[in-house]
Amino acid sequence: MSKPTSPPKVLRLFPSIVCPYSQRARWALRALELPHEIVEIDLTNKPEWYSQINSKGKVPALELPSGDVLTESMVILWYLEELAAKEGKGLLPDDPYLRAQIRLSIATFESAVQSPIYAALRNSDPAQKDQLNKAILSGLDEFFATVPVDKPINPFLTIATFPFVERLKGVTYWRGLEIPKQHERLRKWIEAVEKDETYQKIRAEEGAMIAQLEKFAKQKM
């Protein structure tokens, strides 16, 4: 694949279909209805020119019509939200307090849920399995404690976090995680998101995602 001509006429995203960080950005672009183009990056065979886009070689990266490039998925998400909000299409509430609460929920998820998920997948010690799985369940409780009970989960918050909820499948399959019945909010959230048309268009094909997680998990066994 040859390097696309720069700068692009519209926002240009460089993602990988199996990467949850990329999924965040791809989902936001569609949900916010921002004109864009996609240049898929194969993480197993990255083109040499991609280092000119992101010197770290990571995805996603977002190239702007100005020629500037943004990296780090949450940086990209906040940028896209601000861009769309100027056109009245933002996903975040106008109230500064509610916006701050969503930031808190994202930060809580990243530390209390996202990190333990990958810790569990990296773990190769059977003696630590139960402890790590309990950390995930405890983290989910901590996350949901920051989310209002009386209203649907904000779509921006869902975009920022749900790609990693998908990765719970890997912990369930390879590390024996069982989600107790009392986590009803998680179950309802998963059911609602999986019916979302935008999510259905950007989600990784389950077989590809499982294969990627299997490779990751086996590397750590």
The distance from CA 182 to its chain's CA centroid, rounded to whole angstroms, is 25
Catalytic residue among 19, 92, 112, 121: 19
Euclidean distance between the first and the last CA atom of the chain, given in angstroms as a whole number: 34
Whether 19 is catalytic: yes
Active site residues: 19
